[in-house]
Structure 1
Amino acid sequence: MKKALVAAAILAIGAGGYWAMQQAPKSVDNQVLAYVPADTPLFSAQFEPFPIKDYIDALPEAQKQYPAEMKTLLSEDDDPRAQFIFRVLERYFDASKDGQQLIDTFGLPEKITSYFYTLGVLPVIKLDIANPDHLWAVLDKAEAESGLTHTAKQLGEVKYRAYRLTDEGENERVDLVFAIDKGMLTLTLETSFLEPELLETALGLKPVQDSLAKAGTVDEIIKKHGFKKDSVSYINHQELVKAITTLDANQMARQLTKIFKLIHDDPFVELRSQACQSELAGIAANWPRTVIGYKDFEVKNKRAKIGFSTVIESNNQVILGALSQMRGFIPAHTKRIDTGVFSMALGLDVNQFVPSISKIWDDLLTPSYQCEPLAQLQGEMEGQSPAMLGMFTGMANGVKGVSFSLLDYALEQDTQQISLKDLDAIATLTADDPATLFNMVKPFAPELANVNLPSDGSTVDLGAALQLPPSLGVRAQMALKGQHLTIYTGEKSQAIADKLVAEKPTANGLFSMTADYAKLFTPAMNLMAMSGEPIPEELEALKDYRTQLKVEMDINAKGIVIDSLVETRND
């Protein structure tokens, strides 16, 4: 029985995680949503046809490689079930090196809609299929190579294949189900110990009474967060809390209760008390969901641009207010995805940091929890005090943010060692009075004792103070640009420093990071090639990893917001 549960968990986590990562979510189709329960804890959907062929062709080759760890893990397991999964995944990664090959191999249309959700604990994956015979051929080949065979079954008008995941002779049964009906593939599990009607619902034969379509959850999320209408995914924290603190408050709770009785073990028994139910429900009500939706989407000419927003929703105005209070300054140049190699910026108003943390701390200690795990956590927190942080932040009084940007670099190799040939980079510190902060630091850094910071914005050469060898080819300069203390080297960085004068240190964010993977890895890969050193296969692919990434974190009235933008090209 335990092997059955492990098999079910592996499929649920693996399949759910994979499809959530690979298929960006999209809009509202009531025909499918009528079969999704309103209390599903996990949901991700691609309602508008996603250009899978063009998207695959836009991916860098490095993103099409079979994960070495997975290949090793599965290929070394001689169990027919593991070998079957390995063979199917192997065909996928082999075929996904080319968009046309992928859709031909698996019988997919060039553009697909797809869904991932759960019926309690039972995962369901649905996606369009254009040529079913192609998919069956992949599965037939995997069967022949692994030794695992299927049982042909039918439920109503829907025929399906069932692959046994549990050992022969076990009291309980778990089957992996593949079904194709009306142009849509369904991948799910069928068990002997959960409700028999679950398979009917998963196969689209029996709609649920309280469905996601009736609840209007998708439309509500899109409207609330301003997502594109064709994009939504979410994790429902409230339903997850119900599942682990109650016996029957939702479908997942009822199923877990049945499973735990079968295995004679309830890992959540400590959370079943009335106090835990009430208090954890209150926390979940304050942090009800994590939602994801598109902000930007474009795939064409072997290029893809996908921008999406992740929001950890919160109704806790005390914590949101405290987090907003500590927001600091993020320089504009650190938000550009196309100007440099790498950048990172932390926006933090140091003067507000300790007061904000104290508010959050006090809120977490109020009320006094009776639920034992929460009470233990509070007890540990009570022995600490965020006021202690004031001892460390006093020296940084007035700081609004710090940043570092690598605009360009080049490497060279002599007979002894690898060294920098060229460097263009800038570091900034934004504060109410950066000159005073610099003068406060000087006594603790003897090498800066004789360095004076001009107030007119003119530069100071730091080469002698930092004892930088001329052979390094780096000319480090420092200048005060408005309320920004800058240290930089290179023409591009100097131009950025000069423009900072016009940027006022407004509270505009918490964190920002950008990276251009090709620019980051190519110089090192070229140098390794020139030196004759063998380049590991996993590193070789990074040389042409034409992907740019931007991640920003901020706070708004709806929660904690993480915006991501990924641009890939394969031209």
Structure 2
Amino acid sequence: MRNLLIAGAVAVAGAAGYMLIQPQSQDGAGVSPLAYVPADTVFYSGQLEPFPLKDYLRATTFASPQMSQDLLEEFDDQSSAQHRFLGSLVKAYFIAAESEERFQQTFALPDQVKGLSYAVGLMPVIRYQVTDEAAFWALFNQAEQESGFQHRAGTAGEQAYRAYRFSDEKSGRSIELILAYADGWATWTLNSALNEPADLEVALLQSAPADSLESAGVLAGIAKQHGFQSQALSYLDHRQIVTGLTSTDGNRLAKMLSRAQDQNNAGRGLEQLRTPECQSEFGAMAANWPRTVAGIRNKDDMQITPERSFMRMSMVVESNNKVVMDALTSMQGYIPEYLQKAQLFGIGLGIDMNNFSPALGAIWNDMLEPAYQCQPLRQMQTAVRQSNPAALAMFTGMAQGLKGIGLGVQDFTLDMSGPAPVMTALQGVVSVSADNPMVLFNIAQGFVPQLAQLQLPADGSALDLSDMLPLPPELDVQPMLALKGKHLVLYAGEQGEQAANQLATVEPVSNGILNFSVDYKKMLTPLLPVIEMAAEPEVAAELAVLKQLDMQVQVDLGTNPQGIEIRSEANIRPPAQQTAAQ
């Protein structure tokens, strides 16, 4: 059953993963879909401006994913009709994923699609355009026929829907998957004893909430505050989550959780949170960290063609806590420029050690400053007091002046002709940036005996460490050590040397906290033969999919005036033979 649930989650994520946001668009009835989204939804994500789904699928669809034999047997052996129904849908997903045409046909998805997802209390709602009603229902008709699991026909207002009831025999509880079609749009939601018929009517657009996203202007406010393009916005509202947990009727989420507490006597944990003290204190925390928002800042940040899918997005954890944000900004260090260029693999950590201890102390004191009366928060404070950062501050004192550490691998070659693979070529660099890197090198000499007698030239000349470092025979490379301005570098190969030399005149300014990048194709191509040699035949066959994975990913973590920001880029291309066939 565990595998079935995992596969089901994959299917749902794959079907819903294209949903972003554009608030100006309207549906076929001339009314903005945002008029039916409650303003107290805890999350929102949508794409209400046509998204080139067909091109996206062509650029990101690789070799057909293979289901394991165990999973296939689990689908076939299910004695429960509801499990067979879910298994039929999951199998349909894997079969459809063989090609973009079959995927669109199976799920009745148009070439250009709009869609959105949000919540009505505890009820998730997913809405998206489909090609036609018959095509949408065909998938579920087939699953019913294969499983013997039947739906219940129902209506909410004037909207007809199908309800598939899933029950747990042990607890006696049940929940219904609700599916509906209207005006070229499909709607998925869940119906249970925790919501009222009026909530289902809101989810099926038969009743508009008194306060909606459209009337509240939430999306326009996010776009203005963060400089996001309006066609790509999503958010998670921490304040609505806290209201739902700490109040009995402050929003739809709170009301449904209260019903769960009354009906199942399962809300005892909520009793600790639903006190005036917790409501006030958790509310203050949520006001300091109100939302997590995501979007793009330039139209060029999303480029979708059959030959390439490129997305550059930013996610910001909003913060109004000046003490914490000032501390995080002050400890932000230096990420070397070479990590912003194409790397086979790269990682950088930017920490200003001159400010690290004061910043850590400021954050620690901020967590202890309020005299919390709410029991869970008091317990949290007790745990924080027991982890005094003074010991860590003493350790970091040895690294005073450090600004950041970087590792970049541009290329490598493996020789597979012998009994064991040997790395015969490596292009890469490791850099340590500091106010005075020579001080850090002198400290390192005390811990690495091989470096104790080494005199590092101040003019930037490199020293060959091949005879000094105990490299294993599998690494046939020439490591070079040099001092380049305010950067201590260890490099190998011409590309590594070029990256090292470029640092010679660069000042290690504060520009980030963390950087990570990887080129999957360049990294996996030389490694897969090694992995396949040691893998089981079934695993080796599945690894064939990775050979076609032409994807580059880069992630940056830092701060901005609005909060903590994570910037990510993904560049995906289809396999060469697939592009030629198109």
> Any stretches of 5+ residues in structure 2 without a counterpart?
26-30
Q: Distance in 2 between matches of 1:324 and 1:184?
A: 45
When residues 460 and 36 of structure 1 are mapped into structure 2, their CA distance, relative to the original with a 3 A threshold, is: same
Identity %: 37
Superposed, 1:345-356 pairs within 5 Å as: 345-356=348-359
Q: Distance in 1 between matches of 2:458 and 2:547?
A: 44
Q: Distance in 1 between matches of 2:279 and 2:69?
A: 43
Asked whether the 8 Å contact 1:547–1:567 carries over to 2, the reply is yes
The answer on 1:518 being equivalent to 2:521 is yes
Structure 1 partner of 2:368: 365
For residue 501 of structure 1, report the CA deviation from its aligned partner.
1.4
Structure 1 partner of 2:28: none
Structure 1 partner of 2:183: 182
Structure 2 partner of 1:4: none
Structure 1 partner of 2:313: 308
For residue 177 of structure 1, report the CA deviation from its aligned partner.
1.3
For residue 214 of structure 1, report the CA deviation from its aligned partner.
0.5
Structure 2 counterpart of 1:455, one-letter code: A
Structure 1 partner of 2:273: 271
Structure 1 partner of 2:82: 81
Can you list the C-alpha shifts for 1:447-484, whole angstroms capped at 9, x where unaligned?
Answer: 11221111101111111110346874301001111111
The answer on 1:108 being equivalent to 2:109 is yes
Structure 1 counterpart of 2:374, one-letter code: C
For residue 172 of structure 1, report the CA deviation from its aligned partner.
6.5
SS at the partner of 1:502? coil
Structure 2 partner of 1:377: 380
Asked whether the 8 Å contact 1:514–1:548 carries over to 2, the reply is yes
Structure 2 counterpart of 1:272, one-letter code: R
Structure 1 partner of 2:136: 135
Structure 2 partner of 1:238: 239
Structure 1 partner of 2:287: 285
Structure 1 counterpart of 2:246, one-letter code: T
Q: Distance in 1 between matches of 2:535 and 2:281?
A: 62
For residue 74 of structure 1, report the CA deviation from its aligned partner.
5.8
When residues 12 and 89 of structure 1 are mapped into structure 2, their CA distance, relative to the original with a 3 A threshold, is: closer
When residues 275 and 529 of structure 1 are mapped into structure 2, their CA distance, relative to the original with a 3 A threshold, is: closer
Superposed, 1:481-492 pairs within 5 Å as: 481-492=484-495
Q: Distance in 2 between matches of 1:432 and 1:167?
A: 63
Structure 2 partner of 1:390: 393
Structure 2 partner of 1:546: 550
SS at the partner of 1:563? strand
Asked whether the 8 Å contact 1:411–1:527 carries over to 2, the reply is no
The answer on 1:126 being equivalent to 2:127 is yes
Asked whether the 8 Å contact 2:512–2:558 carries over to 1, the reply is yes
SS at the partner of 1:47? strand
Q: Distance in 2 between matches of 1:257 and 1:289?
A: 24
The answer on 1:427 being equivalent to 2:430 is yes
Asked whether the 8 Å contact 1:53–1:102 carries over to 2, the reply is no
When residues 536 and 562 of structure 1 are mapped into structure 2, their CA distance, relative to the original with a 3 A threshold, is: same
Structure 2 counterpart of 1:268, one-letter code: L
Q: Distance in 1 between matches of 2:195 and 2:347?
A: 49
Q: Distance in 2 between matches of 1:136 and 1:403?
A: 53
Structure 1 partner of 2:476: 473
For residue 128 of structure 1, report the CA deviation from its aligned partner.
0.2
Q: Distance in 1 between matches of 2:475 and 2:8?
A: 53
When residues 373 and 72 of structure 1 are mapped into structure 2, their CA distance, relative to the original with a 3 A threshold, is: farther
* TM-score when normalising by structure 2: 0.91
Q: Distance in 2 between matches of 1:446 and 1:203?
A: 71
When residues 206 and 127 of structure 1 are mapped into structure 2, their CA distance, relative to the original with a 3 A threshold, is: same
Structure 2 counterpart of 1:558, one-letter code: Q
Structure 1 counterpart of 2:311, one-letter code: I
The answer on 1:440 being equivalent to 2:443 is yes
Structure 1 counterpart of 2:541, one-letter code: E
Structure 1 partner of 2:195: 194
Structure 2 partner of 1:5: none
Structure 1 counterpart of 2:366, one-letter code: D
Structure 1 counterpart of 2:219, one-letter code: V
Q: Distance in 2 between matches of 1:70 and 1:563?
A: 36
For residue 11 of structure 1, report the CA deviation from its aligned partner.
13
Q: Distance in 1 between matches of 2:481 and 2:271?
A: 60
Can you list the C-alpha shifts for 1:205-245, whole angstroms capped at 9, x where unaligned?
Answer: 11111111110001111111111110111111011011111
Across the two proteins, how many residue pairs are aligned to each other? Answer: 561
Q: Distance in 2 between matches of 1:220 and 1:163?
A: 38
For residue 335 of structure 1, report the CA deviation from its aligned partner.
1.7
When residues 183 and 532 of structure 1 are mapped into structure 2, their CA distance, relative to the original with a 3 A threshold, is: closer
* TM-score when normalising by structure 1: 0.92
When residues 11 and 184 of structure 1 are mapped into structure 2, their CA distance, relative to the original with a 3 A threshold, is: farther
Structure 2 partner of 1:3: none
Structure 1 counterpart of 2:46, one-letter code: A
> Any stretches of 5+ residues in structure 1 without a counterpart?
1-8
Structure 1 partner of 2:573: 569
Q: Distance in 2 between matches of 1:324 and 1:316?
A: 12
Moved more, 387-396 or 91-100: 91-100
Asked whether the 8 Å contact 2:21–2:230 carries over to 1, the reply is no
When residues 460 and 93 of structure 1 are mapped into structure 2, their CA distance, relative to the original with a 3 A threshold, is: same
When residues 533 and 83 of structure 1 are mapped into structure 2, their CA distance, relative to the original with a 3 A threshold, is: closer
| Cα RMSD (Å) | 2.6
Structure 2 partner of 1:6: none
